[in-house]
Amino acid sequence: MATKRVGIIGYPIRHSASPAFQQAALDFKGIDAKFEAWAVEPGMVVEWMAQQDRTDLLGFGVTVPHKQEIMKVLDYVDNDAKTIGAVNTVVVSKDKRLLGYNTDAYGFLEALQEDGGFIPEGQHVLVLGAGGVSRAVCTVLLLEGVASLTLANRTVARAEALLGELNTSGAKVEAVSIEPDALTASLAAQEPKALIVNCTSLGMLHGPDEEASPLLQEMIPPTSLVFDLVYNPAETPLMKLAEAAGAKTLGGLSMLVYQGTKGFQLWTGEAAPLDIMMSAAKKAVLG
Ligand SMILES: NC(=O)c1ccc[n+]([C@@H]2O[C@H](COP(=O)([O-])OP(=O)(O)OC[C@H]3O[C@@H](n4cnc5c(N)ncnc54)[C@H](OP(=O)(O)O)[C@@H]3O)[C@@H](O)[C@H]2O)c1
């Protein structure tokens, strides 16, 4: 039998940690498959998919900027992915249909609860950024019953539009500007935040703003947990400021691995070796 193929599409994709920890899991389980990173330019997903031979393809992960466009080519989208409005995992079924899932929400909640020790119900939260992953994060936090959710973004209209699409489940929600003066004024009029989640790409290595933090130190309550979804570097500029403010911090690597365990199960039908994946991811990202 030929070696199976599985991979991840995105653009750019060369800094993805997924190939390292997914291949480690496949090798550990003795599955004859190769996990690759495929660079697919923006707007080219439909064309790329049409060129793929599905015979040996188990499926693939989907990252920026394709999580919504990929939905055009799918035969089935599961309910979580429909609610979130984005797909980050595609499975090729035995009859070669394309099935779409979203594992970001699972990965986020698992990391928040298991590694952050944080239960969202009844809490006041601040989410920074209103892009693809913010959609999954806000959906989960509202489903888990937060008391209030403030969504700060550079483009406020995008935050307003996102909140307008979500089921707020009785929580108080507000879209605000992430610009420091405006955000400081907004936060001064609100309950102190127990959780702050960075869903912007600020602070990401090789990104356009790798030295930047979306918040100033004085905006971070010492009693809060600051969860930065950026996973490279391990300690981001925001996390350094949060620690200086006395807050607890959590980086994005464990979320990445948790969402990857779910993908692994969907592609292979086997339980994912979490410890193997976590240590391979740490080695790939942190050296
Ligand atoms: N740990 C994990 O498992 C995991 C999973 C998914 C994503 N992530 C990370 O989360 C981050 C966001 O991913 P995404 O898929 O949501 O990306 P995205 O859809 O491109 O959204 C990017 C967000 O960052 C904001 N932003 C970008 N540059 C900015 C700047 N200079 N100043 C202020 N805001 C800025 C954007 O604001 P505008 O709306 O104004 O453009 C938008 O809210 C990335 O770093 C990604 O690596 C981590």
**Residue 244: CATH number of its domain:** 3.40.50.720
The confidence band for 12, taking pLDDT boundaries of 50, 70 and 90, is confident
Q: Which CATH number is 266's domain given? A: 3.40.50.10860
Q: Are residues 112 and 241 in the same domain?
A: yes
91: left (phi over 0), alpha (psi -120 to 50) or beta: beta
Q: Are residues 77 and 177 in the same domain?
A: no
How many domains does the chain fold into?
A: 2
Please give the number of the atom of ligand 1 that sits closest to the Cα of 107.
Answer: 3
What are the pLDDT digits (tens) for 78-87?
Answer: 999 999 999 9
What distance in Å separates the CA atoms of residue 287 and residue 270, rounded to the nearest whole number? 28
Does 109 have pLDDT greater than 90?
Answer: yes
The confidence band for 287, taking pLDDT boundaries of 50, 70 and 90, is confident
Does 1 have pLDDT greater than 90?
Answer: no
Mean pLDDT to the nearest integer, 256-261:
97
Please give the number of the atom of ligand 1 that sits closest to the Cα of 204.
Answer: 45
What distance in Å separates the CA atoms of residue 235 and residue 240, rounded to the nearest whole number? 7
Most informative mutation of 8, 13, 103, 201 for ligand 1 (most atoms within 8 A of CB): 201
What's the pLDDT score for residue 208? 75
Half-sphere exposure of 250 (CA within 13 A, CB side): 25
Residues with catalytic function: 67
Indicate the pTM of the whole model. Answer: 0.95
Range of the domain at 187: 105-251
What's the pLDDT score for residue 70? 97
Q: Are residues 30 and 130 in the same domain?
A: no
Distance between Cα 201 and ligand 1 center (Å): 4
What proportion of the chain, given as a percentage, has pLDDT over 70? 100
The confidence band for 14, taking pLDDT boundaries of 50, 70 and 90, is confident
